[in-house]
């Protein structure tokens, strides 16, 4: 397997755990739970992508 793929496997759950501490539901309308979940997932994947690429670039210097 690709080493970068393994980094994603470990980093994505970590970022989801970290983001779960944020209360983003108060930013949305009263019955917009699905939109809040989509934003939550998007943030998790965006932060994971940035973190994996940082770690990958840092270790391949």
Residues 9-45 have pLDDT tens digits of 999 999 999 998 888 777 778 888 888 888 889 999 9
Confidence of residue 50 (pLDDT cuts 50, 70, 90): very high
Q: Distance between terminal CA atoms of the chain?
A: 21
- 59 vs 27, residue with greater confidence: 59
Two tokens, residue 4: 């970068």
pTM above 0.95, yes or no: no
What pLDDT is stored for residue 27 in this prediction? 79
Q: Which has the closest alpha carbon to 7: 60, 51, 40?
A: 51
């Amino acid at each position: 397997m690709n080493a970068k793929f393994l980094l994603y496997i470990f980093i994505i759950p970590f970022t989801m755990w970290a983001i779960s501490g944020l209360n983003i539901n108060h930013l949305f309308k009263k019955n917009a739970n699905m939109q809040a979940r989509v934003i939550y997932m998007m943030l998790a994947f965006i932060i994971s992508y940035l973190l994996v690429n940082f770690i990958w670039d840092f270790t391949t210097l």
